[in-house]
Amino acid sequence: MLNESLQFKVPGYQIIRNDRSRHGGGIATLIKNNLKFVELNFPFFEIPQNLQIHAIKIDDLSLVHVYCPPNENLSENLLNELFLNLTSPFIICGDMNGQNPIWGSGIKNRNGQNIENFLLNNDCVIINDKSPTRITPPNTNKSAPDVTISSPEIALMLEWSVLLDPGNSDHFPIEIRYNNISSFSEHPANRNPLKRYNLKSANWESFNTAIIEIMDTNEPESIKTFQEMIIKATNGTIKEKQNNKDKNKFKLFWWDDNLQEDIKKRQLAFRKYLDFPSLENYILAKQYQAIAKRNIRCKKKEAFSQFCSNLNHKSSGEMWRDVKKFKSGCNVPLITKATKSCGEEILNDLCPPIIPAEDCLTIVENPTQFPDIMLNELLLTIQSKNKDTSPGLDGISYSMIKHLPLRAKIKLLQLFNNLLNYGQIPPELKTTIIIPICKPGKSPDLSSSYRPIALSSCIIKILETIIASRLEIIYEKKFSNNDLQFGFRKGKSTFDAIAYLTSSIYISFARKEAIIVVFLDIKSAYDNVNPYNLIKILMNDEIPNELINILKSLLLERNLMVLDPYLHELIGPKQTNKGLPQGSPLSPILFNLFVKDIAQKIESRGIKIIKYADDTAIISTASNFQTALTNMKNTLLKTEDYFRSKNLELSPGKSAAIHFHPTKKWINLPQLQIYESNIPWLEQVKYLGVIFQKNLKWNAQIHNMSNKAIQGLNIIKSLSRTWWGAHPKTLLLIYKSMVRSHLDYGSIFIGKCPKTLLYKLDKVQYAAIRSALGLMKSTPVNILLTESGELPLKHRRSFLALKFISKSVCFNNNPIINKIRSLSYWKQLIFNNNSPAIIDCWEKFDILDKIKRDNHLPCFTFSLPIIYSTISYNDSKLEKTCPNNSIPFNSIISKKYPNYHLIFTDASKINQSTGIGIYSYLEISHSERIPNYFSICSAELIAIQRAIELIASKKLLNSLIISDSKSALEKYVVKIRKYTMRN
């Protein structure tokens, strides 16, 4: 039985379904991916509710599938209507439950008579060869309820036969071969015009050698010749991926020779029964059918058990790939292929005509210098690209660039600096391929139904990453520290925006003020940015000329090519001067800069604007509702003018307004408008993943968190069993990623919430840990948490709140901290001993005066990104408890670090007093008392930091810092690596 809740996929095929709500029946049509087809509808006659009819057209052949349940009437009139709505040639087939001796049945029933009359009165042919199509017991009439009818012109081209292996069904499969199938037009989906390489089988050593040989004979002097050099070096070293028609062939990893033998026995048994229909042969065929069914089920179960048991926490990359396959393998949405080309329309939408305004882009001389890119800067940027994304038109991936020899990378650095100095990007780097992805539930024949995914050259994305890092430093110094733009900025996150909005609502409740929030939606924000206006902003901010010129070249006269979703061919190129490049590392920061003055233009008394990228929320607070509403109306008028000046358009239908109030239920609220269109008033809105209800109760958010976490819990349950399953450590990793992450998000802001509602989250946590560890339901909670090393959610919320506060207090006059401080003042009035974790933790945060604060992050105090030299870390495998450690220690030092300056560091914490010490054979020593609130690990880190400062001040070369704290060394190295990656 097929129903909407059961979704499945067959690799290599598209699935068209007509499900049946009642038990049994239903139609599923599987069409090979390389065939073009269109679905047919029959709007001019009514199909009875209990019948399923589905039709497709492949070129000029109409293929109709019919299912008629037993005891239902398949009327002659219905068949006539169906015939009149079809064009020849056609095939009508299916389980019509029509019995007639004409096509091999032992009896004739009503449906069989109706089909016979239909054949006599119309120009149609029956294709059945009188073979039975259904298994019946011996000494009963033969049954052939499955009928195939065709138009006469193709009847001789059809070969109809019954396959003698029914599987687990009581019907035999029917095979119909159309000898003219070669005339069908192949769907272009198998053609891949993009160049792709099999990087897993790459011979990087030979690739490296080939690059050096090419550079010895003809060193590239331009980006184009540099690309050609890499492509040439792939010959014989990296295989190009070929279009494999069998790439989607379904392969069962659990299938073996024993199952194949069971299938053969089943086939032979049914063949014997059809030749000699005795009771003994019938029983034997049914036995072999049951044996094959049982063995297949057991083998699948055994293979799944083995799959789960092989999941290993030590190979995390492979583990996550397997889990993702398991998670999505049986939950694939049905996709309808496009039936016509719409690539040109998509390209025209992305490349609208826009008049160049070169006269307004005359670059004014600016004395500010833009230093050349440094080698370490380039190498660290390449290193940070640790995942291969789809390359651009040239097919060059990040892995190829990573494996270039140092000589080639130095040459790339020289070419990048030439581009910066001349301010011109070559056309081959400005060509972007757009892959349209159809949105769920949208018609694939409309250009508006597609979401554009951009593929750009990896070479240009490396340059853009470097430019974005430098541009970020320039503008972070210009952003005021109380700015409420939180998107794509270091040290900012969605939590900042959520914290500010939540605190503002709570404070308004305490002060008995009216508060209205409007959530705005910007239509295609990035795609509609006017590059000319953006460059003007950059010039007004006195950005270095080299940077403006290179950005101008990157943004203007870009070439777009669209991969047509139907033809699967590249259409274009077409030039565009509108929007920000899709997928570019520069686009988020450029959009922030494009609208950075929105608060200055729009904010007024009682009005605040929160921005996270293009998600905008306007907050209006006042002593009464009417004043707040008037202020909001005036602000929306200014907002319209502001976005109109930016050539951006707001979407009233996708925007939303909420009047937050702790108790009142408002009816018929006055309308708010944008462009004379009403903004809907809603009871609740989902903003940055958190559901805000108008009374700021958290029922909906907690239910949402719980439902998402339960999806991950189901995966854990499926991968764990008592006697087999994945390793508990693996399941705990899955718990942290797929369950705990949902239970954590936004939880530190939840207040005024019944404990019974929060306990719902606790139950999901306990169930997930219990399944991961394979413990019984009666296991006490404290045992669960101890065995898993997990905190109770209440304490975890406190931990997350302290982390958030610790990060936020590092900024001077942080508006988030000011809000939390005000909210803490009103705590008793608002929450009545049921306050959010962030407020409880703020009151316990007693080291505020001991924290060093600044207007910006330390990385933004320099004019260039901080470049770290590689710091090597060696774990000697020595343990404190082992005797005679000095012998292996001295051996390691003499072999690996001869002639190095040895500097020893240590820390201690005695009677709550903390101190550090440094000693060197150069008779250099240092001791220091540090605040008592530092942990021993933090003290060890400070000792290492003091040793580094000592090395720098004394200008000591070849220095080796030795610490007995492995955790401190690992944290230091990991911290530097992460910080380097971000820059």
State pLDDT tens for residues 420-438. 888 888 888 888 888 888 7
The chain-wide mean pLDDT, for the chain, equals 81
**What's the number of domains the chain is made of?**
4
Residue 380: per-residue pLDDT: 87
**DSSP characters over 290-302:** HHHHHHHHHHHHH
Residue 882: per-residue pLDDT: 66
76: three-class secondary structure by DSSP: helix
Tokens for 902? 């040895």
Query: For position 896, which CATH number holds?
Result: 3.30.420.10
Give the count of beta carbons closer than 10 Å to the beta carbon of residue 106.
Answer: 14
Q: What's the domain range around 220?
A: 193-233
**Contacts with 793 (C-beta within 8 Å, 6 or more apart), sequence order:** 743, 747, 758, 761, 762, 765
- Bridge partners, 678 (sequence order): 673
Contact 122, 76 (CB under 8 A): no
678, part of any domain: no
pTM for the whole structure? 0.74
pLDDT tens digits, 793-835: 999 999 999 999 888 888 887 888 888 888 888 877 777 778 8
Under the banding of pLDDT at 50, 70 and 90, the label for residue 702 is very high
**Is the domain of 152 the same as that of 277?**
no
389, part of any domain: no
Beta strand 125-126 with 146-150: parallel, antiparallel or unpaired? antiparallel
Question: What b-and-e string marks burial along 516-552, b requiring 16 or more CB atoms within 10 Å of the CB?
Answer: bbbbbbbeebbebbbbbebbeebbeeebbbbbbbbbb
Residue 981: per-residue pLDDT: 34
**Is the domain of 879 the same as that of 920?**
yes
Residue 659 has pLDDT above 60, yes or no: yes
**Is the domain of 77 the same as that of 98?**
yes
**Is the domain of 162 the same as that of 271?**
no
Residue 418 has pLDDT above 60, yes or no: yes
Under the banding of pLDDT at 50, 70 and 90, the label for residue 983 is very low
Q: Which of 28, 75, 70 is nearest to 48 (CA)?
A: 75
Beta strand 38-40 with 27-32: parallel, antiparallel or unpaired? unpaired
572, part of any domain: no
- The stretch 876-889 carries a mean pLDDT of 68
Under the banding of pLDDT at 50, 70 and 90, the label for residue 514 is very high
pLDDT tens digits, 69-93: 888 888 888 888 888 888 888 898 8
Residue 427: per-residue pLDDT: 85
Residue 359 has pLDDT above 60, yes or no: no
- The stretch 731-756 carries a mean pLDDT of 88
Residue 523: per-residue pLDDT: 86
Tokens for 756? 């019974």
147, part of any domain: yes
- The stretch 917-934 carries a mean pLDDT of 83
Residue 51: per-residue pLDDT: 83
Query: For position 20, which CATH number holds?
Result: 3.60.10.10
95, part of any domain: yes
**Is the domain of 137 the same as that of 223?**
no
Under the banding of pLDDT at 50, 70 and 90, the label for residue 188 is very low
What DSSP designation does 88 have? S
Under the banding of pLDDT at 50, 70 and 90, the label for residue 876 is low
Q: How far is Cα 210 from Cα 212, in angstroms, rounded to an integer?
A: 5
5, part of any domain: no
Under the banding of pLDDT at 50, 70 and 90, the label for residue 329 is very low
- The stretch 292-301 carries a mean pLDDT of 83
**Is the domain of 26 the same as that of 153?**
yes
847, part of any domain: no
Residue 182: per-residue pLDDT: 47
**Is the domain of 112 the same as that of 225?**
no
Under the banding of pLDDT at 50, 70 and 90, the label for residue 867 is low
Q: How far is Cα 298 from Cα 798, in angstroms, rounded to an integer?
A: 48
**DSSP characters over 387-417:** S-----TT---HHHHHTS-HHHHHHHHHHHH
Phi, psi of 815 (to 5 degrees): -60, -25
**Is the domain of 138 the same as that of 272?**
no
What DSSP designation does 102 have? G
Residue 276 has pLDDT above 70, yes or no: yes
Q: How far is Cα 192 from Cα 782, in angstroms, rounded to an integer?
A: 56
- Show which of 310, 334, 353 is a domain's final residue: 310
Under the banding of pLDDT at 50, 70 and 90, the label for residue 763 is very high
Taking each helix axis from N to C end, the angle separating 406-422 and 204-217, rounded to the nearest 10 degrees, works out to 60
**Is the domain of 224 the same as that of 272?**
no
pLDDT tens digits, 469-500: 888 888 887 655 557 888 888 888 899 999 99
**Is the domain of 174 the same as that of 285?**
no
Contact 610, 616 (CB under 8 A): yes
**Is the domain of 136 the same as that of 277?**
no
Q: How far is Cα 239 from Cα 217, in angstroms, rounded to an integer?
A: 24
Residue 622 has pLDDT above 90, yes or no: yes
Q: How far is CA 756 from the centre of its chain?
A: 33
Please provide the distance, in angstroms rounded to a whole number, between the alpha carbons at the two ends of the chain.
Answer: 55
Q: Which of 116, 927, 128, 800 is nearest to 495 (CA)?
A: 800
Residue 744 has pLDDT above 70, yes or no: yes
% of the chain surpassing 70 pLDDT: 84
pLDDT tens digits, 837-866: 888 888 887 766 667 777 777 777 766 665
% of the chain surpassing 90 pLDDT: 16
Under the banding of pLDDT at 50, 70 and 90, the label for residue 245 is very low
- Show which of 183, 207, 242 is a domain's final residue: 183
Contact 6, 334 (CB under 8 A): no
Residue 187: per-residue pLDDT: 47
Tokens for 529? 């940015």
Residue 331 has pLDDT above 50, yes or no: no
Residue 792: per-residue pLDDT: 93
**Is the domain of 221 the same as that of 145?**
no
86: three-class secondary structure by DSSP: coil
Residue 820: per-residue pLDDT: 87
- The stretch 260-282 carries a mean pLDDT of 85
Q: Is 955 left (phi over 0), alpha (psi -120 to 50) or beta?
A: left
Under the banding of pLDDT at 50, 70 and 90, the label for residue 692 is very high
- Show which of 249, 275, 310 is a domain's final residue: 310
Q: How far is Cα 560 from Cα 719, in angstroms, rounded to an integer?
A: 45
Residue 912: per-residue pLDDT: 77
Residue 461: per-residue pLDDT: 92
- The stretch 238-254 carries a mean pLDDT of 61
914, part of any domain: yes
